[in-house]
Structure 1
């Protein structure tokens, strides 16, 4: 590779070599690797708190979003020695290993290093290392012709039901077609207990509004409905991290929302909620700050099964 395609930089005292900054990773919009790195750098003050102490699964697109991609849990061989690694169990590893060395992105230098590897998508579990889940996720997946507007209507119902149990919920788009509600919890219950509670809520709402909601995973049951995926709380699963880019034709990102926006969308206001692009997300941070900041502070214990 010609020397002019590599740039040496220092990020918070760490030496990094960035490459191919002009390479287009989002062909439909001309968004380059350099712009990906710039986005992650600028969004880092609100993104990093949601990555700290969580093992990171990356989806890398070395030849852009229209090229081949791969999931990466284990640290690559070229990982700098200053990047934090944690050896953890890896159930269902495609490499057949019982444990993997996960990257933990606690600082800006690691985030820039990952962006330079074209790790466009960042996914984390609902738990921190050596701890029980401190977050519950209700993942809303629309079955066509239902879409994001219908997700917003269901999100309002879930918010009200969770509030009856003293559980606060915070909405965000997925950056693709659906959305998630994120709920800070006490971190004193197992992933199985959290998943069981989420399933009870999903089943209850599916019984109450069967024409609009399903809590069953079978795809034949989803057309025209919103699937409340309670299984995202399984300890082996991850959810797209707030502010992560997504591999769409244009660089959308998982975007925190206000409840006023969600309510407006549910009531039919055009464009009140959509999958926002990277530039829009940065502008929203200027306006709102981190709408998901309460997630890092913990929350109440979930009600016991009944």
Structure 2
């Protein structure tokens, strides 16, 4: 029972601040923009929406035509969170949805209505739902993978610096097969290498090739690299996670925020930066949202070449 106020009437329920906005002809409503998403950093939902709005010109091309998995933090990074693939209730009619099969779903679904972020309004709508992290598969809808991704995951005491050294080995090994690798931080502790490929081979072929290269490098430098997933063998080594190329797997999108104490983002790097971090000439670290925006002003999209079709993987 609701307690009555000193005047004898029932207190009015606290209203949530909502703002109607129009973005490129789309009507949507923003809410709770002053809610802290990153309490330790004092970073609000309004700032999350602002970041995604400003980063959109370089982010949207990497999201376009890809089924999106969101990790939502309704009460900020210190609260509960959940993965969301299916379009939530109340999804605006103008949001693009694609019904796709999800074999092996933990919720026994045969298909899911995935959200596809093809435009700024959808990106802002997703951000307003406290979808801090945006993850995509290596394939565009209806197509074979056009990216190969390897995740470099350091086991303490190894860190990002060690990942950068492994990234350079991986880059050179892939170059021997005519492939170009593009580095980005994960926004958490490690990094990823993204490789544009032809989009003519299925995910099993891509996974098999990535595993082969990971095992080769692990055999060359067994004290520093492992291609095995077992956590018991990973302390002090960099795990080359080749399994990211399975059809059901997703990887954090370039420029996506991450749910850390501060609003870090998955940040494209130059190879000169990777080399400097590996050698200790530059601090190996993750980058914050404000820094990422500044870097885009200086460099543009360092991952623009991922949007161009690459060569097929060699098949042995």
Q: Which residue of 2 aligns with 1:185?
A: 197
Q: Which runs of 4+ in 1 moved over 4 A?
A: 1-4
Q: Pick one of 118, 121, 124 that aligns with 1:106.
A: 118
- Measured after TM superposition, the shift of residue 54 of structure 1 is 0.2
Q: Which residue of 2 aligns with 1:292?
A: 303
Q: Which residue of 1 aligns with 2:264?
A: 252
SS where residue 28 of structure 1 aligns?
helix
**1:38 pairs with 2:50:** yes
Q: Pick one of 216, 223, 240 that aligns with 2:228.
A: 216
Q: Which residue of 2 aligns with 1:204?
A: 216
Q: Pick one of 84, 94, 111 that aligns with 1:72.
A: 84
- Measured after TM superposition, the shift of residue 112 of structure 1 is 0.2
- Assess if the C-alpha contact under 8 Å between 2:273 and 2:282 holds in 1: no
- Measured after TM superposition, the shift of residue 298 of structure 1 is 1.3
- Assess if the C-alpha contact under 8 Å between 2:185 and 2:286 holds in 1: yes
Looking at CA atoms only, which structure, 1 or 2, has the larger radius of gyration?
2
**1:1-306 paired onto structure 2 within 5 Å:** 5-271=17-283, 273-305=284-316
Distance in 1 between residues matched to 2:180 and 2:14, nearest whole Å:
53
Gaps of 5+ in 2: 1-12
SS where residue 38 of structure 1 aligns?
helix
Q: Residue by residue, what CA displacement relative to the aligned partner does 1:167-189 show, whole Å, maximum 9, x if unpaired? A: 00000000000000000000000
- Measured after TM superposition, the shift of residue 274 of structure 1 is 1.4
- Measured after TM superposition, the shift of residue 2 of structure 1 is 5.4
Distance in 2 between residues matched to 1:91 and 1:303, nearest whole Å:
28
Distance in 1 between residues matched to 2:250 and 2:149, nearest whole Å:
10
Q: Residue by residue, what CA displacement relative to the aligned partner does 1:198-236 show, whole Å, maximum 9, x if unpaired? A: 000000000000000000000000000000000000000
Distance in 1 between residues matched to 2:103 and 2:44, nearest whole Å:
35
- Measured after TM superposition, the shift of residue 3 of structure 1 is 5.6
- Measured after TM superposition, the shift of residue 270 of structure 1 is 3.7
Of 98-107 and 1-10, the range deviating more from structure 2:
1-10
- Assess if the C-alpha contact under 8 Å between 2:16 and 2:32 holds in 1: no
Distance in 2 between residues matched to 1:29 and 1:90, nearest whole Å:
37
- Measured after TM superposition, the shift of residue 95 of structure 1 is 1.9
Q: Which residue of 1 aligns with 2:8?
A: none
